[in-house]
Amino acid sequence: AEEERLALRIVPHPPPVSVKIKEDNFSKAFLLPPFAVNNKRSEYVACFLPNLKVLYGDVSDTRFHADEQQVNLGPDCFGVRQTQKRFRAVRTETCKFCDRYKPWNE
């Protein structure tokens, strides 16, 4: 008889959010550093975009959706207004254990 063991890891996090560009006519647009879902990085710089409205978040797990929030960070040292768009995965339907999900940065 053969015996096989499999490691099981329970991850109490919501699925990661993929950041994408809504429209195809921004072929020169990119993120620095390049976006990677496996990367735990949480801050990127959007280059060659007219505004942050064309960025959206996508979640592969259908039980979740990407919630977005745009935050005004105030002026930088040159007086230019800095805006940040934040994404997080949120459960589409409420559940009794939803408050137990930990953010990815914890």
H helix or E strand, kind and range, residue 45: strand 45-47
pLDDT in tens, 67-88: 999 998 888 888 888 888 988 8
Cα separation, 70 vs 56, whole angstroms: 11
Cα separation, 49 vs 27, whole angstroms: 10
Q: Which residues of the chain have pLDDT under 70?
A: 11-12, 40-41, 98-106
- Is the Cβ–Cβ distance between 84 and 56 less than 8 Å? no
**What is this structure's pTM?**
0.70
Cα separation, 87 vs 66, whole angstroms: 6
Rounded CA Rg of the chain? 18
